[in-house]
Every structure is written in structure tokens, then in C-alpha cells.
């Protein structure tokens, strides 16, 4: 299936050997803590709780989820950076914590060097949607319309620097078109204005937008992954019209950089095995998410490439946070 090619940037997708973890000789002696650096109810919190449930039995210790939100995820990230490096405190890292935050603001730490990746968890595709009144049935027609009417098409987002903003800004930048950004205080009010026709388009996570697409209230023109999505197989990838386009809201687990290698190896084995379980993958698929397997080195390389992508965009488009 085309969606199986999604993990294009991960060169080594083999799961870790069980012998490596078995020989590591480390096991947690107390409950573990997973810090979700965003409020309850969001994707970061949801993925953290799914993972905590799956890991309890595998590690022989319960895993508690702690929501520590603020500064676009930076507060929770810093809490894990400063935590004791004993393998018991993990971060639900993401595109926001490791790629877009460092591109948008000066941080008192570097998530790439001050944290060590444990394992990739999943990716959440986005989809570009337009109001049905927009006279564009394809992405090519939307690009042509934007070129004919520079700046007249408005796209909404959850705020300056949000993934919904950057995904649309990247599309405009790579397509060479002028779109007008209308930031909102969250995705919900942006969606309401799009449904009402007060703005013309936006990018949103596929799980959030899918019900409106299926009901015919919004028209999907392209998905943000390099390959088509199984959830919307008839909708092309944006990259089919705008080469090089990719915007994936990804999630991976991290620990403080000084965490001993035996703990890292055991945690990687347990997390990778949890993500590979059919039941976990089924739960991801139900939410429009995709598993993100790979070695620790492959996930780190993917995160670094994603950080470069968004840093380049922020500089080229002169995006400044609120």
C-alpha cells in the first residue's frame, strides 16, 4: 500500500533485536514518568497515554503521564532535560519540541543534544482543505487561482508558529504563491470560520479534518505525507503537485542525554515492541496516525532533518512568533 512508503526519511526501519535488550541488564525499579508537554486531550497527551498503557506490562512498572504544558511545549521539554538521567523520566517529544520550537524561539537548552531519542512512536499527517465554494477541485487549480489572485486566498491556523500555520506556509513557499495568513486562538475557531466561508482554506491534522471531509463540508485537495493516505486514498499527496513538500506531526520518546546506554537499549526495545504490536497499530490507524519505527539513529536523523526544514522556512518566510 502507498502509505507504507510514508517513512521515507528513515533509512533503517528494522526493529531492534530482542537479544540486545535482554543483554542490557537494566530494569526500572520504580514507576516511570512520561512527560507530555501539552495540555490533556491533545495528540501529545493521547499518544503518551496509549504508550504508557502498552509499556506497563513490558517493563514491569507502571508508567504515569504528567501533563506539563507551557511555552509551546518548551516547559515540559526542559523539565525532562533537567531530570535525573536514570531512565525513569521520558518526554513525549514531537515536531513541536524538537523541530519548530527551536526554529521559532531561543531556548535555554538544545533538545537535540540535551535529550537522547529512545524510539519513534507515530506520525500524524495533515490535509489541506478548502471551503466547497472555492473554485478549485485540485491542488493544481488552487495554485493557479492563488497566482491569478495574489494574497486574496486566506488560510486559518491555530496561531503563529502552530503546525497548522507552518504546514500551509510551507505549501505557499514551495508553490511560489501568496496566501494571507489568519491566525486564531486554536484550531476550533479557525475551522468554524472555514466552515462558514470566512476564510478559504487551511491545513489541519487528518484525524481532525476527516469527519468534515466525509460529510462534504470541506474539500480535501492534498495530504501532507509524500505518499497517499489509506484514510483518503483518492486524495493525492501535496508532493505530487509541489515536489519536496512534507509536513508530518511526528512523536518520539526521549530521555535526558546522560541516560546510561543499558537503560536506553532496554527502553528502546520495549517501546519499539509496543509500537509494533497489532493492537497498538490498530489504535493508531483508527485515529489516522501511522507508526514511526526505526533505529534510534534513524529517528534522530529524521528529527534533525525536520528541524532544518522548518528553520529554513521560518527564515525564508520571516515567520516571527507572537
Enumerate residues 6+ apart whose C-beta is below 8 A from 102: 110, 111, 112, 307, 311
CA distance 66 to 2: 36
**255 is a domain residue:** yes
pLDDT confidence band for 20 (50 / 70 / 90)? very low
Residues 96 and 138 in one domain: no
Q: What percent of the chain has pLDDT over 70?
A: 92
Mean pLDDT lowest for which of 2-16, 82-96, 168-182?
Answer: 2-16
* pLDDT at residue number 170: 97
Residues 22 and 36 in one domain: yes
Q: Which run of H or of E encompasses 243?
A: none
Enumerate residues 6+ apart whose C-beta is below 8 A from 294: 7, 10, 12, 13, 120, 302
* pLDDT at residue number 164: 93
**182 is a domain residue:** yes
pLDDT at 17 over 60: no
pLDDT tens, 115-129? 999 999 999 999 999
Give me the sign of the Cα torsion angle 137, 140, 141, 142: positive
Mean pLDDT lowest for which of 7-21, 58-72, 158-172, 289-303?
Answer: 7-21
Domain boundary among 177, 208, 240: 240
pLDDT confidence band for 144 (50 / 70 / 90)? very high
* pLDDT at residue number 309: 94
Enumerate residues 6+ apart whose C-beta is below 8 A from 149: none
Nearest Cα to 13, choosing from 245, 272, 227? 272
pLDDT tens, 200-210? 999 999 988 99
Residues 190 and 159 in one domain: yes
Domain count for the chain, please give it.
2
Residue 266 main-chain phi, psi, to 5 deg: -70, -40
**230 is a domain residue:** yes
**170 is a domain residue:** yes
User: Could you tell me the CATH number of the domain that includes residue 196?
Assistant: 3.40.190.10
Q: Whole domain around residue 232: which residue ranges?
A: 125-240
* pLDDT at residue number 18: 41
Residues 7 and 104 in one domain: yes
pLDDT tens, 280-319? 999 998 888 889 999 999 999 999 999 999 999 999 999 9
Residues 297 and 273 in one domain: yes
Average of per-residue pLDDT across 62-77: 92
pLDDT at 152 over 60: yes
Residues 253 and 233 in one domain: no
Domain boundary among 240, 273, 307: 240
Q: Which residue has the higher pLDDT, 11 or 236?
A: 236
Burial of 289 (0-12, 13-18, 19+ CB in 10 A): buried
pTM of the model: 0.86
pLDDT tens, 76-115? 999 999 999 999 999 999 999 999 999 999 999 999 999 9
Residues 116 and 130 in one domain: no
* pLDDT at residue number 322: 67
Residues 16 and 90 in one domain: yes
Burial of 224 (0-12, 13-18, 19+ CB in 10 A): buried
Residues 79 and 184 in one domain: no
User: Could you tell me the CATH number of the domain that includes residue 33?
Assistant: 3.40.190.150
Residues 24 and 89 in one domain: yes
Start-to-end C-alpha separation, the chain? 41
Domain boundary among 240, 273, 301: 240
C-alpha cell at 183: 491566525
**78 is a domain residue:** yes
Residues 223 and 296 in one domain: no
**322 is a domain residue:** no
Residues 139 and 224 in one domain: yes
Enumerate residues 6+ apart whose C-beta is below 8 A from 35: 66, 68, 76, 79, 80, 89, 90, 91, 92
Amino acid at each position: 500500500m502507498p502509505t507504507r512508503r510514508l517513512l521515507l526519511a528513515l533509512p533503517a526501519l528494522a526493529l531492534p533485536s530482542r537479544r540486545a535488550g535482554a543483554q542490557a541488564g537494566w530494569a526500572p525499579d520504580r514507576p516511570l514518568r512520561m512527560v507530555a508537554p501539552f495540555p490533556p486531550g491533545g495528540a501529545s497527551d493521547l499518544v503518551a497515554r496509549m504508550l504508557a498503557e502498552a509499556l506497563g506490562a513490558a517493563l514491569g512498572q507502571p508508567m504515569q503521564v504528567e501533563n506539563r504544558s507551557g511555552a509551546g511545549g518548551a516547559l515540559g521539554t526542559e523539565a525532562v532535560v533537567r531530570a535525573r538521567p536514570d531512565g525513569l523520566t521520558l518526554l513525549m517529544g514531537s515536531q513541536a519540541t524538537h523541530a519548530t520550537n527551536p526554529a521559532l524561539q531561543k531556548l535555554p537548552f538544545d533538545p537535540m543534544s540535551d535529550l537522547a531519542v529512545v524510539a519513534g512512536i507515530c506520525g500524524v499527517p495533515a490535509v489541506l482543505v478548502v471551503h466547497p465554494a472555492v473554485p478549485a477541485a485540485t491542488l493544481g487549480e488552487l495554485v493557479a487561482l492563488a497566482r491569478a489572485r495574489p494574497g486574496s486566498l486566506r488560510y486559518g491556523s491555530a496561531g503563529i508558529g502552530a503546525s497548522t500555520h507552518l504546514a500551509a506556509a510551507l505549501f505557499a513557499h514551495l508553490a511560489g504563491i501568496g496566501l494571507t495568513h489568519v491566525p486564531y486562538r486554536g484550531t476550533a475557531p479557525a475551522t468554524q470560520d472555514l466552515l462558514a466561508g470566512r476564510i478559504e482554506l487551511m491545513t489541519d491534522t487528518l484525524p481532525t479534518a476527516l469527519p468534515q471531509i466525509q460529510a462534504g463540508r470541506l474539500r480535501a485537495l492534498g495530504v501532507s505525507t509524500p505518499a497517499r493516505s489509506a484514510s483518503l486514498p483518492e486524495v493525492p499527496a501535496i508532493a505530487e503537485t509541489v515536489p519536496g513538500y512534507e509536513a508530518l506531526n511526528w512523536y518520539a520518546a526521549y530521555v535526558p542525554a546522560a541516560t546510561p546506554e543499558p537503560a536506553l537499549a532496554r527502553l528502546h526495545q520495549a517501546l519499539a515492541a509496543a509500537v509494533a504490536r497489532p493492537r497498538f497499530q490498530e489504535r493508531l490507524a483508527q485515529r489516522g496516525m501511522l507508526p514511526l519505527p526505526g533505529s534510534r539513529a534513524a529517528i534522530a536523523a529524521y528529527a534533525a532533518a525536520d528541524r532544518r526544514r522548518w528553520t529554513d522556512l521560518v527564515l525564508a518566510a520571516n515567520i516571527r512568533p507572537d
